[in-house]
Structure 1
């Protein structure tokens, strides 16, 4: 299997555990995922199998859409419901005007401090590992992110429901913390569900239990996304069998004078419609091959 599976991840397991469970059923194929979801979070987790694992550098930069619940009045060390309580504060009455003000404050380009419990590395070690072993971990540096759309609605006196469309690298847990502070209290993320990851939609995802059941059947009938279709938006160049053979032998000059003018990245497609390579135009007549895909394996 060389394809992308869109999985609806349940709460309670890590993204790495989803990969492990799928890999145990499709080995020896390689398996990876796009866009980590925290264990408490649910929703869209694209799983790459086989040659699809080579696609990550080309499709992992899209916007993400999240829906969730911010719980006010309690902050945790992980900034989510799985963490230990570290602070409590009174929750003021939240007016419609105040909520609109905070919505505007966090819409657009903002700066946020990622959580200490994150995969950001310090001296090669993920911060969450340092924090879990009791080290005194300084917060990561601020980073610039973009919230392209933010909807906030009071769900209860101590709860705010939200929908956010945000740039890669945005931490929903940090957003919850900062919104709590802006509302005059503290907060943590109580629920999180990813509904979109780049061009992939939760509407096309399959519950993890159903995916595993199908793989266990020995004759899986799963909806998958092939490599060509996964690279939405990249222009295509269809080459003949002679050029394909040259490319597979490492000769990128096979693309000379055939480079699409609307590059720079483009897909190279075989006569049978399969993805052969992703290439980068270096001029209007030459290109460098970034990845070769061996779908016959």
Structure 2
């Protein structure tokens, strides 16, 4: 059971809640997520299991796709529907042109200030812990990229959007800042992540389904094996002797008759297709085991 299980996170659960639940379902303490989701959000939450947790470092730049609803008319402390209102509640009449003007600045690459109620660390502590104790925190802007931001529908004060963005982008901040531009306040009413890197919502399993599979000893059916992860790294099949050498930390050679492009890494797979190591290039056709599972 080394690999990824993609969970369809339910509303109201923290990402850590889901990790703990899957630990119990899978009977292992070695479970880690690939990017948090707010409690309000649902959708794609990829979880690494067992030895595959060590691969997390190679997933740091995964792009995300979200579908969400922005409620114009008042802002909240947390920038979403769970926070206390910080401005009077209004019912603005929105036009397509006005909504487009409020969202246009949030396409492309720009500096974004994360919400104070977030998991961003301030001197080692999550910002939301300090915010809930009314301790003032200074959130530093971070460069993010929004590859696309589509307006799906406008119904009264509610605007549905689809956003394809870089890791670390806060859709809550986009909603809040759009409300400032329109002058009526806004917050994120709902959010669903439909893609995280190569993991899509069609691969996601509700927790109830995972529990049912585990009770029938079929949980492996939900697992994406470690050998299938990181498809951007060329895969190299190795024999038993080479596997032993890799586990001893020794460099290993691969076929000189294959074009691997400019990729810095390869995946070393044994003859059963299991991922043994990530190799980093030392010289043409020679790799050092940068990570051994």
Structure-1-length-normalised TM-score = 0.91
Number of aligned positions between the proteins:
291
Contact 2:102 2:178 in 1 (8 A): yes
1:150 corresponds to: 149
Change in CA separation of 1:188 and 1:30 when aligned onto 2, cut-off 3 Å: same
Q: Does 1:233 align with 2:232?
A: yes
Superposition pairs of residues 78-89 of structure 1, within 5 angstroms:
78-88=78-88
1:93 corresponds to: 93
Structure 2 CA distance for aligned equivalents of residues 83 and 227 of structure 1: 39
Contact 1:66 1:192 in 2 (8 A): yes
Structure 1, unmatched stretches of 5+, are none
Cα displacement (A) at 1:153 = 4.0
1:162 corresponds to: 161
Change in CA separation of 1:261 and 1:163 when aligned onto 2, cut-off 3 Å: closer
Structure 2 CA distance for aligned equivalents of residues 291 and 96 of structure 1: 51
1:69 corresponds to: 69
Cα displacement (A) at 1:231 = 1.0
1:196 corresponds to: 195
Change in CA separation of 1:35 and 1:200 when aligned onto 2, cut-off 3 Å: same
Contact 2:210 2:222 in 1 (8 A): no
2:182 corresponds to: 183
Q: CA RMSD in A?
A: 2.0
Q: Does 1:11 align with 2:39?
A: no
Cα displacement (A) at 1:261 = 5.1
C-alpha deviations, 1:20-39, integer Å up to 9, x for none? 01112323341111111111
Superposition pairs of residues 95-134 of structure 1, within 5 angstroms:
95-134=95-134
Which range is displaced more, 140-149 or 273-282? 273-282
Contact 2:94 2:157 in 1 (8 A): no
Contact 2:236 2:268 in 1 (8 A): yes
Contact 1:199 1:232 in 2 (8 A): no
Structure 1 CA distance for aligned equivalents of residues 220 and 274 of structure 2: 20
Cα displacement (A) at 1:150 = 0.5
Cα displacement (A) at 1:78 = 1.0
Contact 2:75 2:176 in 1 (8 A): yes
Cα displacement (A) at 1:213 = 2.4
Structure-2-length-normalised TM-score = 0.92
Secondary structure of the residue aligned to 1:43 is: strand
1:54 corresponds to: 54
Cα displacement (A) at 1:66 = 0.2
Cα displacement (A) at 1:220 = 3.2
Cα displacement (A) at 1:159 = 1.1
Cα displacement (A) at 1:285 = 4.6
Structure 2 CA distance for aligned equivalents of residues 84 and 216 of structure 1: 41
1:213 corresponds to: 212
Structure 2 CA distance for aligned equivalents of residues 256 and 18 of structure 1: 40
